[in-house]
Structure 1
Amino acid sequence: MGSDAIALPAVRFLQEQKAVCEVVGVFSQPDRPSGRGKHLHANPVAAWALENDITLLRPERLSAGEVAWLREAAVDLIVVMAYGHILKPDLLAVPPLGVVNLHSSLLPKYRGASPIVGAIASGEEATGVTLMEIVPEMDAGAIIDQEIVPIKPAETAIEITEKIADACIPLLERTLSALLSVKYSKTEQDKTQASYTRKLKKEDGQLDFGLTAEELVNRHRALQPWPGSFFEYDNIVLKVGDCATDTIAEQPAECGTILEASEKGIAIQTASGAILIKKIQRPGGKMLSASDFLRGFHLETGIALNYKPSTPLVSQEPFPRKKKNP
């Protein structure tokens, strides 16, 4: 069960293990509109299943029909990664070998919808993927095994997503035979060490200069490719392509003050230190180096930019779920 491209290496690996198991079906999200024309497109996992002539089920919601299909197909084990549906107890009870999930963090840290974002935004030097049992509580199942993925200082969520996808292969190589025989050891999660992430929103990309420069740079790295980072100048939204903490001397300026706009970049005061914008884009324009951008766009130093306090990306308590309309 999966929908996002991050699950493809794991799906391909399982399909190749024909000597010990058979992938009898793939559950994925329905086609969604995407691209400029907003035409319907299959997600990467669904497209892979179609290309390989594997039975594909794409329910809008999991129902009794899908549970019946699993029983009829005599499914022994379900492996889940980035699927996008909550699995209810009646479905979890079907496969005799259980239901396991590949979660993109080193649990119990960063449960929830955006674990890669949470780890990078928090300044972690490593994250990884956890193979875990699925239980009704979100990402709270027992840990079977983990694969560690280092995070380099300049890496964004784009690079880390690719590394975590690839890390699923050695993890499954170590554990597949044990999963198929239910002869694996497991460790219950320490709930006192749990942290939680949430779904991202477009407004998460707006730079909050009330944070520290280091926090802003980490958040920028975490929010690539969407929603990215941006700030407003004179009611114009300017997109940030690259940034770093600045070595400019401490100045008595309020948060959001433009301290410098030069060949080096655009330095803006934060709660601690300054953030240096190195690449920037105006609406309808190309992403440019700060020096090239400033040749055609004037930024006045000394003024304080307007900004809104950001919503945390990580919490020590579960984020409240948005209620669905009946």
Structure 2
Amino acid sequence: MAKQKKLSKGQSRRISANHQKRLHKAKQQKADTTDTTWQADNLGPTESAVVLSRFGQHADIETHNGEVLRCNIRRTVSNLVCGDEVIFRRAKVSEGDLAGVIEATEERRSQLTRPDFYDGIKVVAANIDQILMVSAVLPEFTPQIIDRYLVACEDMGIEPILVLNKIDLLDDEGLQNIEEVLDIYRELGYKVLLVSNKSEQGIDELKQQLVDKNSIFVGQSGVGKSTLVNTVLPNADILTKQVSENSGLGQHTTTVSRLHHLPSGGNLIDSPGIREFGLWHLDVERVTFCFKEFREYIGGCRFRDCKHLNDPGCLLIEAVEQGKISQLRFDSYHRILESMADGRAGARAPRV
């Protein structure tokens, strides 16, 4: 038997490339066949629904009469998130636990986004009225984190509510110190809630704030978001874990975003914990604008390219010196700009 001639490197590459093409074509044909099964005679008329949660290419949706269905997502529908209002069609003959297919999404009234190094700008939730930014005295009360969330809220045009959790851990002196910081935000017109799940202080006010609105809790891990969700929505059964005694950082306890109905009306979206909230997708000018107390001074500095740092004739610096702008907020502003300039664009929490 003749010895088989060894393939050259070029032949091996061409064979491998052809194999990959055939494999890709087979997968595409399978996907097309799967998508085709949701067409033709197997689908009913279009209906409206709201997305409760998404799992890869499937989503749980709720119809106007309260019926919850799990549906396939048409490949032409992208970026589907909690709170999206969708158009779907029921399957006359369902496939497993899939009851139909989502055909399209309605235009969003608002959306919460965050930058992602791999996916670009990532949408977290849609059609929300307010963002409740939860911080706590444990692991650490960090105004710089609050300012990052506020910039994001101002950029998206969504009302922010500041929620300080675990205040039962504060003594009188500690509470007074934090109140002085929170007064800065109150004077800017931001609503501030002080709550404690343990002592139940502020819980009724928190529940009232959620009535008839679509809300989402955001905040770093360990601040007690899931515990607060359990408090305002006992049947949600959101898992909670204690703050790590070794690192002081919270453990991620929510893995899939989900929309819950509140007994008093309105909806609450519980989403995975966010340790950092990068702002690297924003222009410097946009970040400056999103510090709302800066706006009346923007464009009035002596130099058009004023960096608001050591520049002569800077109106922002003058406002800080005159007590019209908080030094804490001004410093936080420059911390954000530093994180944007260092190439990582806020991908980590600011140094404190």
Q: Could you state the TM-score of these two structures normalised by the residue count of structure 1?
A: 0.28
Bigger radius of gyration: 2
Q: Could you state the TM-score of these two structures normalised by the residue count of structure 2?
A: 0.26
